[in-house]
């Protein structure tokens, strides 16, 4: 039954660190990889995900199956459901929460503003409310985003740079999350670490991201759109490979200090941190396409268009020296190498035979 599955999943392997982690958004792209990595090293880990239909649900179900085979139970539920969260915290003494559930994507926000407020603001607050009253209070590690740098033009982006000009609602909700983290740290002694991910890619990735739908469309011989900035300027991203991100997440978890409150009251100074997790080497989108063409052995049909005003920024570029110093974070995968692994996965997963073996 439900409770025994949760308890079994939460059990750390003996001899391991004994950490017990709740991962929100566990059936998501980053969530699946982080959850699997925690499990591999022996941590107790329980997932939660609402399996929403922002993109192909069957992909989320396949990731869930992968986790199931590794011995992890993903509870189907919403982070806005306080009753469910309290029930989970009543069953398990979580030492950490890895909060990766969110409404992601920049463009989708233009037509669906409510889902960003609901998942990224209301959902985060609901989760923090439950964490603040839990005994023990877990340390929280959560995904912010490089998008908080918004219209900042100083590159590379470092954590001290301004984040007061979000250019999309997505970015604004992530920025709001950082402010909310400050409040819960200050009042309730919760230890909270925000990780600003920079364009994460890799196997089991998100179908709404460019590298993913470019691959699909190139294989289908469909014309792809490449956007350029004003005066034909280059649009570039600091593409960061999933394995590097996972290492950063685990290091953030392992260096997180205990929360210092109890029963909703603060006892001492708790930790509040924010780190860039990027790759430090932005690549133009046109270069991304040429790498994919070579890997797929198909010449892409493409049009170059001016970037529409949809909240996307022109470029991102991380300075990761803070994460390097404090987390030992050191991204090692270049785009060519990482895309090769993505393409292998993609071809395997979406070939009729591959799909059978993956599900
Ligand atoms: P994803 O969409 O694959 O994963 C998010 C998961 O959360 C999904 O499985 C979704 O079903 C779940 N979810 C959404 N709302 C929920 C709710 N209310 N309750 C329970 N579950 C809910 O996205 P991802 O790429 O894995 O991103 C993980 C985190 O990293 C997100 O916070 C995202 O904003 C952040 N991030 C990602 C990137 C990137 O490039 N992938 C970059 C910057 C930040």
Give me the pLDDT at residue 353, please.
62
pLDDT band at 153 (very low <50, low <70, confident <90, very high): confident
Burial of 220 (0-12, 13-18, 19+ CB in 10 A): exposed
297 CA distance to ligand 1 centroid (A)?
31
179: tokens are 């402010």
The residue whose CA is least distant from atom 29 of ligand 1 is 100
Confidence label for 358 from pLDDT (cuts 50, 70 and 90): very low
Q: Which of 32, 101, 127, 248 to mutate to test the pocket of ligand 1 (most atoms within 8 A of CB)?
A: 101
Exposed/middle/buried for residue 287 (C-beta within 10 Å: 0-12, 13-18, 19+): middle
Nearest ligand 1 atom to the CA of 174 is: 34
Mean pLDDT of 326-331: 98
**Ligand 1 neighbour 145 (Cβ under 6 A):** yes
**pLDDT tens sequence across 227-250:** 999 999 999 999 999 999 999 999
Q: Does ligand 1 have an atom closer than 6 angstroms to the CB of 206? A: yes
Q: Find the mean pLDDT for residues 140-148.
A: 98
Residue 140 predicted with pLDDT over 50: yes
Q: Look at ligand 1, atom 9, and give the residue with the nearest C-alpha.
A: 28
| DSSP codes joined into one string, 91-133 | H---SEEEE------SGGGGT-HHHHIIIIIIHHHHHHHHHHH
pLDDT in tens, 250-277: 999 999 998 888 766 777 789 999 999 9
In this structure, the residue with its CA closest to atom 41 of ligand 1 is 200
Tens digits of residue pLDDT in 188-236: 999 999 999 999 999 999 999 999 999 999 999 999 999 999 999 999 9
- Calculate how far, in angstroms, residue 62's C-alpha sits from the geometric centre of ligand 1: 16
31 Cβ inside 6 Å of ligand 1: yes
Distance 51 CA to ligand 1 centre (A): 11
**d(CA 299, ligand 1 centre) in Å:** 32
Atom 8 (ligand 1): residue with closest C-alpha? Answer: 28
Take atom 13 of ligand 1 and give the residue whose Cα is closest.
101
* pLDDT band for position 351 (cuts 50, 70, 90): confident
170 is catalytic: yes
- Domains present along the chain, CATH in parentheses: 2-200+241-277+317-332 (3.40.50.720)
- Catalytic-labelled residue, pool 54, 116, 149, 170: 170
Asked if pLDDT for residue 53 goes beyond 50, the answer is yes
Q: Determine the atom of ligand 1 nearest the C-alpha atom of 119.
A: 18
d(CA 210, CA 236): 12
Please state, in angstroms and rounded to a whole number, the distance separating the CA atoms of residues 338 and 91: 39
Q: What average pLDDT does range 95-124 have in this prediction?
A: 96
Query: What pLDDT shows up at residue 182?
Result: 97
Q: Tell me the C-alpha distance between 253 and 327, whole Å.
A: 9
What is the pLDDT, as a whole number, of residue 356?
Answer: 47
pLDDT above 90 covers a percentage of the chain that reads 89
Strand partners, 305: 227
The pLDDT tens digits for 3-12 are 999 999 999 8
Q: What is the pLDDT of residue 186?
A: 95
Decide: 100 in ligand 1 pocket, CB within 6 A.
yes
ipTM: 0.99
H helical segments located in 210-284 = 210-219, 242-254
CB-ligand 1 contact for 276 (6 Å cutoff): no
Mean pLDDT of 66-93: 98
Q: Give the ligand 1 atom nearest the CA of 32.
A: 26
Q: Is 50 in the pocket of ligand 1 (CB under 6 A)?
A: yes
pLDDT value of residue 354: 52
């Amino acid at each position: 039954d439900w409770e025994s599955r949760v308890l079994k999943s939460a059990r750390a392997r003996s001899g391991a660190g004994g950490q017990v982690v709740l991962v929100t958004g566990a059936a998501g792209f980053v969530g699946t990889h982080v959850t699997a990595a925690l499990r591999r090293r022996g941590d107790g880990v329980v997932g939660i995900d609402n399996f929403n239909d922002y993109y192909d649900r069957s992909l989320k179900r396949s990731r869930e199956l992968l986790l199931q085979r590794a011995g992890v139970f993903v509870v189907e539920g919403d982070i806005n459901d306080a009753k469910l969260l309290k029930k989970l915290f009543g069953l398990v003494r979580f030492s950490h929460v890895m909060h990766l559930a969110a409404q992601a994507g920049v463009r989708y926000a233009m037509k669906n503003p409510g889902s960003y407020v609901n998942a990224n603001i209301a959902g985060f607050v609901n989760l923090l409310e439950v964490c603040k009253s839990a005994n023990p209070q877990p340390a929280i590690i959560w995904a912010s985003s490089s998008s908080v740098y918004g219209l900042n033009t100083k590159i590379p982006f470092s954590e001290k740079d301004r984040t007061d000009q979000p250019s999309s609602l997505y970015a604004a909700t992530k920025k709001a999350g950082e402010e909310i983290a400050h409040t819960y740290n200050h009042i309730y002694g919760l230890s909270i670490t925000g990780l600003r991910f920079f364009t994460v890619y890799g196997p089991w990735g998100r179908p709404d991201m460019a590298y993913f739908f470019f691959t699909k469309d190139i294989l289908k011989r469909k014309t792809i759109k490449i956007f350029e900035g004003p005066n034909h300027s280059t649009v570039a991203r600091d593409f960061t490979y999933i394995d590097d991100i996972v290492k950063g997440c685990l290091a953030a978890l392992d260096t997180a200090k205990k929360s210092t409150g109890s029963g909703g009251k603060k006892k001492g100074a708790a930790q509040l941190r924010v780190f860039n997790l990027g790759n430090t080497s932005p690549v133009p989108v046109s270069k991304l396409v040429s790498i994919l063409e070579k890997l797929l052995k198909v010449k892409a049909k493409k049009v170059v268009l001016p970037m529409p005003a949809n909240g996307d920024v022109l470029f991102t570029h991380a300075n990761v020296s803070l994460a390097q110093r404090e987390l030992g974070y050191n991204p090692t995968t270049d785009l060519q190498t990482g895309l090769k692994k993505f393409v292998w996965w993609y071809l395997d997963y979406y070939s009729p035979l591959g799909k059978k073996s993956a599900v």
